[in-house]
Amino acid sequence: MAAASSNKWRVGSTSRLLSQLVTALVGVAMFLDYVAVGVAASASWEHLSLRYGKWYRPPRTPREARAMGYRRVNEICKMDTYHGFLYVQRHNDKSRLLFDHNDRLAGIQTAIPGNMLGFNSLNESLQMPSKEIIPPILLSQEQYSSGIQMYTVTAYFQHPSLICSPYTQHAHAGKGLYIQMGYQVERQFEKIPLDADRLSDDWKTGTCLHSMGRHYFKHLSKDMKCESLYPVYLMYNADGQLGGFGWLFQGSPSESSRTPVRWLQLDPSLYRASFDVSMLPPCMFNPDFKIFTIRIYLRNEHTMICPRRDAKMDDQRDSKDHAHHGGRGHHLDRINNEEVTFRPLHPKPTNSSSGGGSNNRTPKYINSRTTTSLWMTP
Ligand SMILES: *[C@@H]1O[C@H](CO)[C@@H](O)[C@H](O)[C@H]1NC(C)=O
Ligand SMILES: *[C@@H]1O[C@H](CO)[C@@H](O)[C@H](O)[C@H]1NC(C)=O
């Protein structure tokens, strides 16, 4: 009996020890989770920057945003037209920033005016944005001071259902890209794959441009209707990793000279620098056709390289292109004049990391018609 009771005592103490151990382990796990969140938060697209010629690096925290003159728009996280706390800066429609409940950068929104004209596939002029591209363009609840209706397009960097959840402090936000596709923010979005291999066939392979990577345009083809020109394109590096995206719209917006980063405005005479022109529908060659765009980088631009095969073709074509420069000369000058202070945000990486292993992977499609990289001309 004595032996049995002492055994029982031992069993009791063992289980108490075990439960203490379990409590301690849970504590450690929660601590590790907390550390991981810290790492994930700081690792979430740390290279985020906007670029046309000049670089613009948006603030990464609400505090930085306020220091840069941004003001917070809303007190409620779940707004009717977007989720997150929106910070805006005067003269800056391109970089409206969304922060989540935990002050993490959760997305970026760009606003465009609703008073621009574009063209449809019959070369008829029509009001932009056309219904074919709503969504991802969405009617905003805001207006410009001139009374012009505002439209927005919004990208989130974490799953949209996490942004306004108070529980995400212990969730791994990580990196992601989600394009808002409706006002039901938590459900209506397009998740962009981080790996180019997982892109659906809707995404057509375009040019690869130096330090911008391989471009993918949704539904772009010779048969596309111009009113359907999709406002989002994607940029992947030679390893097939998502490295950035861009907005692309029909029209020609007027712009404050005080904007920190300008739109790249293009007309048909400049397409060859940015597009594989063999992919474009005839309506885009209407001489009055205008588009404007901005690139949003998620990765360091030095990682946005093209496979070497393309680089060789670029060289050949560059020399051929010199013959054509006469006609486009003044456009090039105009672009170059606008791009006054090119300055890479990030120092060039050391030799070892670039090139090397990145050429093993064949891209989905090699395009030999890539033209000079005017979109980034330093
Ligand atoms: C629209 O204009 C382009 C360029 O001028 C032309 O190639 C195309 O055939 C026109 N489309 C229609 C339907 O008229
Ligand atoms: C890369 O390597 C070359 C030759 O080895 C050297 O001249 C050059 O300075 C290096 N560049 C960088 C960025 O390290």
Decide if 150 is inside a domain.
yes
Q: Which of these ranges, 164-168, 233-237, 267-271, 279-283, has the smallest mean pLDDT? A: 164-168
Decide if 36 is inside a domain.
no
From the CB of 341, is ligand 2 less than 6 Å away? no
The β-bridge partners of 78 are 83
Decide if 3 is inside a domain.
no
Residue 350 above 90 pLDDT? no
Decide if 31 is inside a domain.
no
Higher pLDDT, 111 or 26: 111
Residue 53 above 70 pLDDT? yes
Residue 92 above 70 pLDDT? yes
The β-bridge partners of 116 are 128
Shortest-distance atom of ligand 1 to CA 283? 1
From the CB of 286, is ligand 1 less than 6 Å away? yes
Decide if 315 is inside a domain.
yes
Q: Which of these ranges, 18-22, 30-34, 189-193, 325-329, has the smallest mean pLDDT? A: 325-329
Q: Report pLDDT for 166.
A: 76
Give tens-digit pLDDT for 220-233: 999 999 999 999 99
Confidence of residue 242 (pLDDT cuts 50, 70, 90): very high
CB 206 within 8 A of CB 275: yes
Shortest-distance atom of ligand 2 to CA 349? 13
SS3 for 144? coil
Domain interval for residue 207 = 41-345+363-375
For the chain, what is the domain count? 1
Decide if 352 is inside a domain.
no
By most ligand atoms within 8 Å of CB, the mutation choice from 267, 285, 289 for ligand 1 is: 285
From the CB of 144, is ligand 1 less than 6 Å away? no
What does the mean pLDDT of the chain come to? 78
pTM of the model as a whole: 0.71
From the CB of 355, is ligand 2 less than 6 Å away? no
Confidence of residue 10 (pLDDT cuts 50, 70, 90): low
List for the chain the helix, strand, coil content (%; round to 5): 30, 25, 40
Decide if 25 is inside a domain.
no
Give tens-digit pLDDT for 192-222: 999 999 999 999 999 999 899 999 999 999 9
Decide if 205 is inside a domain.
yes
Can you give the three-state secondary structure of 100-131, one letter per residue? CCCCCEEEEEEEEECCEEEECCCCCEEEECCH
Confidence of residue 235 (pLDDT cuts 50, 70, 90): very high
Ligand nearest to the CA of 355: 2
